[in-house]
Amino acid sequence: MLGGIGLFAFARHALNGIGNGTRAMPEGISAVAVTQFHVAQSTFALWIVGLGVMVGIAAAVRHRVRKEPV
């Protein structure tokens, strides 16, 4: 989950820089292509975070089910 959060923050920071006009664009690549790349990064990051949440919930349920009665 932390990797997804970090990737999302990086991608959103880059998109904010593109929107403000403060981010330097690489040579030979259009601004649209760079923007689409960072949008895809942020979407992928959200999927990573969602997957992490699902694994955590599954582990908690599994732990609760397998817990021995006291």
Rg over alpha carbons for the chain, rounded to the nearest Å, is 19
H/E run at residue 49: helix 31-66
Tell me how many domains the chain contains: 1
Tell me the per-residue pLDDT of 2-50, one tens digit each, with 9 for 90 and over: 999 999 999 999 999 999 989 888 899 988 999 999 999 999 999 999 9
C-alpha to C-alpha distance for 8 and 45, rounded to whole angstroms = 5
**Residue 70 banded pLDDT, cuts 50, 70, 90:** low
Q: Are 41 and 7 in contact (CB under 8 A)?
A: yes
Say whether pTM exceeds 0.95.
no
Domain that holds residue 56: 2-66
